[in-house]
Structure 1
Amino acid sequence: MFLSRIHLDPRCKEARRDLANPYQLHSTLCRAFSPPDTKCPKGEFMWRLEPETDAPGYPRILVQSRKLPDWNGITVKGWLAEVDAAIDLRERLKLESLKSGQKFRFRLRANPCVTRNGKRLGLLNKKDQEGWLERKGNQHGFSLPILTAFDYFESLEERIDVRISQEQILCGKQHTDNSIRIFSVLYDGMLSVEEPELFRNALQTGIGHGKVMGLGLLSLARA
């Protein structure tokens, strides 16, 4: 499992197009993992457009993949401004020796939602967004620190200690007449590993819906 960081050059017309259309950006990234005119294997990679740019102002994208990407496969001239050396996550994070109680800083852009009457609805309330992440933690083998908050009307209540920002609707187009709209937020915080095997699987497969739109990648740094 490898993590790469690439920098796009917004002076390139195709790069600007991809930055405005997450579905198209995913399609372009697929070229680094499959030959031309070949469908990219499902689950081969996940990605996230970071909110921060690099020093020269270029947008940064994290790409986590099963195998090393071949960036030469993206044949658009000027699309890539820079490519950082890939990191072997299994080695960097010692994934094979994870233990319950280990703590990591994390970032996750995700689609907190519920399904009602067969439709997926984004959760717009902060408390609901926190509850969604807490449930995903229980499902995927990690927990989040608890913060005791004071509410003027309801006295004390316990909530998870996580920063939620970057609320936005992501819009993409599969075809000219088939558009995708998905609600997303950015989570930043600390987590503790509870069940190592479940947690490793979450790192490999991602969390929640919208993978082709740049959602679901759980990235870690040692606490």
Structure 2
Amino acid sequence: MYLTKLMLNARDCTHFQIRDAYAVHKLVYSLFPVIHDTNRQRILYADKGTDQGYRFLLIQSQAQPHAPVSLAMTTLCIGDSFWASDRYYFEAVLNPVKRNPATGKRQPVKGLFPVMKWLVENSLEWGFSADEQTLQAFIQNTLTFEKGGKEYCFNRVLFRGSLTVTERAPFRSAVEKGLGHGKAFGFGLLQLSPIV
């Protein structure tokens, strides 16, 4: 698995027409021209915002990205030893949704307590237990963009805290495949730091 830090300056943002979340999606996926089955080889990314004139993107992938020489990019390979820890600090931007039993459609989970409860309940399926004492949730602005004449809208929540791995295989699979919905548009990347 690879973790890539991509730094975009103002010229890069103009050149790649980075105006909305869909433009970021197109740029990230353009770095992986040989991947056709994105469900098998998931590309996850997080838009970390702007700092000192650069827009930072963090990208996780099974294949190494190939970027134009003009882009400032650093890629690391994550080895098996990274998965040996039982506890990690984590950060993730997720799109909390629940399926409406009557309509079958996904509906956003709203409110601070409900989104925290949503993460705690879903974390068990993902092979970890979120520490409720350290868990923080920050409800962010809704992510909207237009694609093919249709408007897309995603609720966005930043989660931070620590976690304990409860089942190693499902945990690693969840990290590699991403958490929740909206993964193609910057949601679901579980950013981890082992607790030693």
TM-score bin, normalised by smaller chain:
0.7 to 0.9
State the SS of the aligned residue for 1:146. coil
Structure 1 gap segments, 5+ residues each? 148-160
State the distance in 1 between where 2:115 and 2:155 align: 11
Listed as ranges, the matches of 1:147-186 within 5 Å are: 147=133, 161-175=134-148, 177-186=149-158
RMSD of aligned Cα (Å): 2.0
State the SS of the aligned residue for 1:143. strand
Q: CA deviation at 1:49?
A: 0.3
Larger Rg belongs to: 1
State the SS of the aligned residue for 2:10. coil
Aligned counterpart, 2:61: 65
State the distance in 2 between where 1:106 and 1:115 align: 26
State the distance in 1 between where 2:25 and 2:55 align: 15
Aligned counterpart, 2:191: 219
State the distance in 1 between where 2:138 and 2:132 align: 18
State the distance in 2 between where 1:174 and 1:46 align: 19
- Pick the aligned partner of 2:107 from 106, 121, 125: 121
Matched, 1:83 2:73: yes
Matched residue type, 1:88: C
Q: CA deviation at 1:2?
A: 0.4
Q: CA deviation at 1:7?
A: 0.8
Aligned counterpart, 1:152: none
State the distance in 2 between where 1:133 and 1:91 align: 26
Q: CA deviation at 1:28?
A: 1.8
Q: CA deviation at 1:10?
A: 2.5
Per-residue deviation, residues 60-94 of structure 1 (Å, max 9, x unmatched): 1000000110112xx8xx6x3x212x11123461x
- Pick the aligned partner of 2:89 from 105, 114, 123: 105
Q: CA deviation at 1:115?
A: 1.8
Aligned counterpart, 1:157: none
Aligned counterpart, 1:195: 167
Quote the sequence identity (%).
25
TM-score (norm 2): 0.88
Question: Compared with structure 1, are the counterparts of its residues 14 and 164 closer, same or farther at alpha carbon in structure 2 (3 Å cutoff)?
Answer: farther
State the distance in 2 between where 1:10 and 1:169 align: 24
Q: Which moved more, 1:114-123 or 1:201-210?
A: 114-123
Q: CA deviation at 1:183?
A: 0.6
Aligned counterpart, 1:27: 26
Preserved CA contact (<8 Å) 1:111 1:183: yes
Per-residue deviation, residues 19-45 of structure 1 (Å, max 9, x unmatched): x3222221222221115xxx7431331
